[in-house]
Every structure is written in structure tokens, then in C-alpha cells.
Amino acid sequence: MKTPRQTSSRVRRGRGRVARLCAVGAGLTAAIAGGSAARAEDKAGAVALFREAGALVDAGQPSRACPKYEESLRLYDSVNTRYFLADCYERIGKMASAWAHFLEVAARVHTSGDRAKEAKARDRAAAVQPKVSRLTVVVEAASTPGLAVKRDGTPVGPGQWGVPMPVDAGTHVIEASAPGKRTWTAQVEVEPGGATSTLVVRPLEDDPASSDAGGTGNGRRTLALVTGGAGIVAVGVGTALAFGAKSTFDESRPFCNGDRCDQRGMDLRDSAVARANVATVVFGVGLAAIAGGGVLWLTAKSPTQGASIGLAPTVGGALVRGSF
């Protein structure tokens, strides 16, 4: 025989499933009536995933349920699905994501005039907000041309630099890059429960493998390679012209007796001399270019290289410094 507590627990779970199904059903009906452009099969898939996610939550497996809510929301953007996804995020400790989704739900239902749902979503957001952890990304040498900072692959614009931004607790990867600079990467662990962590992005090191690196001699090495390459090409062209001149001179022999030639022989020898002169100039320029490229390469400065990383505690979190 079932005890009263077991019966009550089962009733609550049943009510939860019914509430979720009614909510998503109402949302889909409204969208269809409003002429939504979403494909019917996508909506059906969204409903199926929504039901599976709800069953997993009832079974005490929210970590498995959240991805299904996410996919359901991707297939069909329903305010009801978004609400239950926020609830799921809160259950697994992703407070920043939960807070953002509750606020989004509140804003959407406010537009529709549903004050009861708006109040409920705002109450949930208010309850979650104190548990939202934050990460401050401090960017040194922020004036670096083309500097781009990312958090977990998502751009962190200059407006966010130095500002405690809401993030889910856990490990986050910060990456900074710029033309001609080495990419800088660091990991920071953000503690749960409203903790604040700070990560400092140090000035980026010049990248010796990039032609855009300035002030390190790398540009000179690139110029040396280009100059030397052009010189090699010029030497090849000069050599080809020299062989062509000799061939033309050899063609004149049947029309000449020593230095005495008829008109045809004279024309051929004049052409051969002209080609030989051009070959000499081109060959000389090529040799000079090769020599110049060698000088540029040998006199180029080598960039300094190094790596450092530091960790210091802060209130409610950690301060991470790192560079390559």
C-alpha cells in the first residue's frame, strides 16, 4: 500500500508534467494561429524533446534534461520552453544562464500582457541573481591594433573589459589575439555562489612567425626572403637570355666568314649582342638582390621570447595572470 507521502510526491510530479505539457501546447497553438513560419516537423520535434526533458527532471536527472530543453528551444523558440530551460539551468548550478533566461521570459510575457507569468519569471530571476558568479577580464595594452578577446570562443568586446560580467560557475577559457602577435590563452576557475574572479590579459608578445610583427626584425626577414627570391628569379631570367643570345649568335655563322657577314648575319649578331647586354644587366641585378637579401636576413633582430603565468587570490575568487 502506498503511503500518503509517496502518493503526494507522485501527484506533484504528475501535476508538473501536466503543467509543462499544457504550457508548451498553449505556446504551439498560439504560434500556429499567428501564422508562425516554423516547420511543422520542427514543432513536433520540439514537443517530443520537451516531454523527454520534463520526464528526466521528474526523475532527478536535470543534467540530462537541459540539453534536450536547449534543442527543443532551438527547434522552436517558445517562451514556455525557455522558462523550463531556465529552471533546469538553476537546478544544475548554471545561475547566470538561468538568470538571463528568466529575465528574457519576463520581458516577452510583458509584451503579451500576461502579468501573472511576468511576475513569476521576475520572482525566479530575483531569487537566482544573488547566486550569479561574475568574471572580470582586465585587458592591459588595450590599444593594441586589432586586439580581439574571447571567452569560451565568444567575443568579449571592449565594453566588457574591466566589468564584472555574469558567468556560470566553472572553468572558462580566455583567449586574446591580434595581428602580428602571439595568441594568449589562459583558464580561470569561477567559483559558485556569487563569487567574483578576475583575469588579467597581459600585453601580447610579438609573433616571430608573422610578417605583421613590428619592431622585432621579422618584417626585415620577410623582406629579405622576398628580395632574395626576386634575385634568384632574375638570375634565372638572365641565364636564359644569355643562352638565347648564344643561340642567336650561332645562327649567324652560316651567313658570316669570320667577322665579315652579309646583312642577315649582321642582323642576327646585332640581336645576339643586344640580348647579351640585357642578360648581363638582369644577371647582375639578380646577384645584387640575392646579396641584399642575405644582408637583410643576417642583420634582422631576433625577437625576445618568454613565458610567464601567475596566480593570486582575490575576494571570492582568483586573479590569474599569464603570457606566452
**Which tens digits make up the pLDDT trace of 263-321?**
776 776 677 688 778 768 876 887 887 887 777 777 765 544 444 433 334 434 434 33
- Comparing 45-54, 207-216, 259-268, the range with the smallest average pLDDT is 207-216
* Integer-rounded Cα radius of gyration of the chain: 36
pLDDT over threshold 60, residue 240: yes
Q: pLDDT tens across 122-149, in order?
A: 999 999 999 999 999 999 988 999 999 9
* C-beta of residue 62 within 8 angstroms of C-beta of residue 92: yes
Helix, strand, coil percentages for the chain (3-state, nearest 5)? 60, 20, 25
pLDDT over threshold 90, residue 324: no
Specify the pLDDT at position 239: 82
Name residue 256's amino acid: C
Specify the pLDDT at position 218: 61
pLDDT over threshold 60, residue 24: no
Higher model confidence: residue 286 or residue 198?
Answer: 198
pLDDT over threshold 90, residue 87: yes
Q: How confident is the model at residue 14 (pLDDT cuts 50, 70, 90)?
A: very low
pLDDT over threshold 70, residue 62: yes
**Torsion-angle region of 86 (φ positive above 0: left; ψ -120 to 50: alpha; else: beta):** alpha
pLDDT over threshold 90, residue 201: yes
Specify the pLDDT at position 245: 65
Place of cell 655563322: 253
Percent of the chain with pLDDT over 70: 74
Q: How confident is the model at residue 190 (pLDDT cuts 50, 70, 90)?
A: very high
Mean pLDDT of the chain: 79
Specify the pLDDT at position 25: 45
Specify the pLDDT at position 323: 32
pLDDT over threshold 90, residue 48: yes
- Comparing 4-13, 240-249, 253-262, 266-275, the range with the smallest average pLDDT is 4-13
Q: Report which of 101, 110, 97 is spatially closest to residue 81, judged by C-alpha positions.
A: 101
Q: Report which of 227, 202, 243 is spatially closest to residue 292, judged by C-alpha positions.
A: 227
* C-beta of residue 138 within 8 angstroms of C-beta of residue 162: yes
Task: Tell me the three cell numbers of residue 180.
Answer: 602580428
